[in-house]
Structure 1
Amino acid sequence: MAKANKIVLGKRPETFSKEVSFPMLDGSTGCIRIDYLYRTRKEHAAFIDSIQAGIEAKAKSESERYKALADAGEDLPMLKQSDVVSYQVEANVDTIMGAVKGWNLDIPFDREAVEQLVDELPAAVAAILTAYREAITEGRLGNSV
């Protein structure tokens, strides 16, 4: 039996790493080693609140734009599927950029690369964000520094 580590409160890591697996489009399994930013449960809740506030602010801005057009008697633009997907991609990119410090992919971790990942491999997004939430809020997957 492995020896248990002594618990030391207040000695928080800056980051922790996880191997995140997800289904690829061809049926194989993809894997990325993600370096996550450490947050306490309360900090994670505040982080998620800030992401939600950004989404709400964008929705309010769009609503005000539509109202101004309607008040001016202008035709309202139709909301297209591409618009909905663009909003979703932007929200996913914002969340990953706020939760992740880096990865082991052959391209640098930056906003452009994250947007490419979100656009090309949606299953990776769900896996990355679920692993983060579970590690922070439930202590799942065994944090390793």
Structure 2
Amino acid sequence: MIKLLVIGNLGKDAVVNNVNGKTVINFNVAHTEKYKDAQGTQKERTTWVECAYWTDRTGIAPYLKKGTQVYVEGNPEVRTYTTTDGRQGAALSLRILNVQLLGSRAGDGSDGNSANSYSQPSAAPAYNVSPATATADMGDADDLPF
């Protein structure tokens, strides 16, 4: 399995669609990287990721607005295509497993301190640690470096 993690800003408001009886939230995320070229000139490169979040938990959709910073993780897919003028192109899309709101642009009416997280149920086992076990594994609390 390949997993892709992206932190970026939404390029437009999310759209909730119904496809064959299943709900999907579609949105795109842009990540801009700043770098210097061989001549030392400051450059920017923006990568756009099309996201599809297949879930019945659509409560997050109203918060996925243009400019909102998000953390998304999921399985990547690359789609190749030919443009009308004959050039080859590629698009990166992501089937979302987890999305977390990180904040929003200043001045949009939000407080910018959103910490909501939504994720698909995972098949991974859940481990419960009792307080007694956790304390026994820590050793003597006086040995902590802080």
TM-score, normalisation: structure 1: 0.23
Larger radius of gyration between Structure 1 and Structure 2: 2
Choose between structure 1 and 2: higher helix proportion. Answer: 1
TM-score, normalisation: structure 2: 0.23
Higher relative contact order (CA 8 A, sep 6+): 1
